[in-house]
Amino acid sequence: MPAFSLDHFDLYSAHHVPESYTWPSSYLHDHPSAGDGGGGGDSIPIIDISSPTAVSLIGAACRSFGVFYATGHGVPVDLLDDVEHQARRLFALPLHQKLDTARRPGFISGYGRPPLSAFFPKLMWSEGFTIAGGHRRDVAGDIWPLEQAVFCDVIEKYNKMMKEMAGKLLNLMLLSLGIDQEEAGRAGLIRDLQEAMEVLQLNSYPACPEPEKGIGMAAHTDSGLLTILYQSRGVNGLQILHKEDEFGPTRWVTLPPLPGALVIHVGDLLQILSNDQFKSVRHRAVVSRAEHRLSAAYIIGPPGHVKMGPISKLMQYGQNPIYRSVTWPEYLEIRAQLFDKALELIKLPIK
């Protein structure tokens, strides 16, 4: 992935969108926009995950949308505020300080353009800090060598709560597929999550003087099992691609931030596990003319040695496995070559 140079275009004080950040209208408007995700068949479910009805509601949401809002998750609002505050501290630093922790070739953690940039000829109106596993001290230590403790404590507490929430969500999702906790344990799905690979992606989308020309994050799916997304309050940006029914149009649906709610995305590995019952949601981030938006995406996947394939119990109902088994690192290598065609490559021949 290309690294930032010292003469990198300053997104925060820009008065125009240069050619290198100008995306063709045919890409930005490939499908109509349905506006905010409320009303009609495009309404994104809001699910209290502590409710007795959570299993059935989550199953329906994962099948229809691949995404839902989660409430009743137990993550304190104060902690969400602290994560946003620490992210704002990071992105407010001068470029030369952020470059001190620029992502190096072959490494996941660090500062830089969205990893997706390698797949597109145009640049995205955003920047990010990627913190993989326990590397928060590597990122903070390079920028704040004498005052990293507060940042690291907040991120450590947040990651811990996100992992607990991810385990609960995965259990509810498996139950909605008819896989009980004992069966999930035998398959290693819940047990191995204790050793899960996790990535926290902090994203900054500065106000854009010509939002009709730019994109904050190009359309993509997430590669892991699931993503838990926090969005800064009051600023829209997240959109998912949704087809209401077999005969309806495909549209971009906006998911505005809701107070106290977190957005849950189905990832590619969960689509594989569910044998296509759950759909990995295609999503993007658009930019605003006046507002600066932040997000924190917690992405979780299995340990590197664990193979992910369609759950065998699902085959009892007459299904054939659609995908071959892969580890997350193997799948990431495939995505690095084929991007959004990766799932197609691991499909098994139709019997």
- pLDDT, one tens digit per residue, over 263-297 is 999 999 999 999 999 999 999 999 999 999 999 99
Rounded to 10 degrees, the C-alpha dihedral 293/83/241/304 comes to 140
Q: Is 137 marked active-site?
A: no
- Cβ partners under 8 Å of residue 81, min gap 6: none
Helix-helix angle 149-176:77-91, to 10 degrees:
130
Domain 14-345 has CATH 3.40.50.720: no
Confidence of residue 2 (pLDDT cuts 50, 70, 90): very low
- Which residues in 71-82 are b (16+ Cβ under 10 Å) and which e? bebebeeeebeb
Catalytic-labelled residue, pool 136, 284, 293, 335: 293
3-state secondary structure of 245: coil
One-letter amino acid at 310 equals P
Per-state percent for the chain, helix, strand, coil, to nearest 5: 35, 20, 40
* Model confidence pLDDT, tens digit, residues 203-258: 999 999 999 999 999 999 999 999 999 999 889 999 999 987 767 789 999 999 99
Closest CA to 49 of 164, 155, 156: 164
In the numeric block, the tokens 């001290």 are attached to 137
> How far apart are the C-alpha atoms of 38 and 246, rounded to whole Å?
20
Percent with pLDDT over 70 in the chain: 87
Q: What is the pLDDT of residues 295-333, one digit of tens each?
A: 999 999 998 888 999 988 887 767 789 999 999 999 999
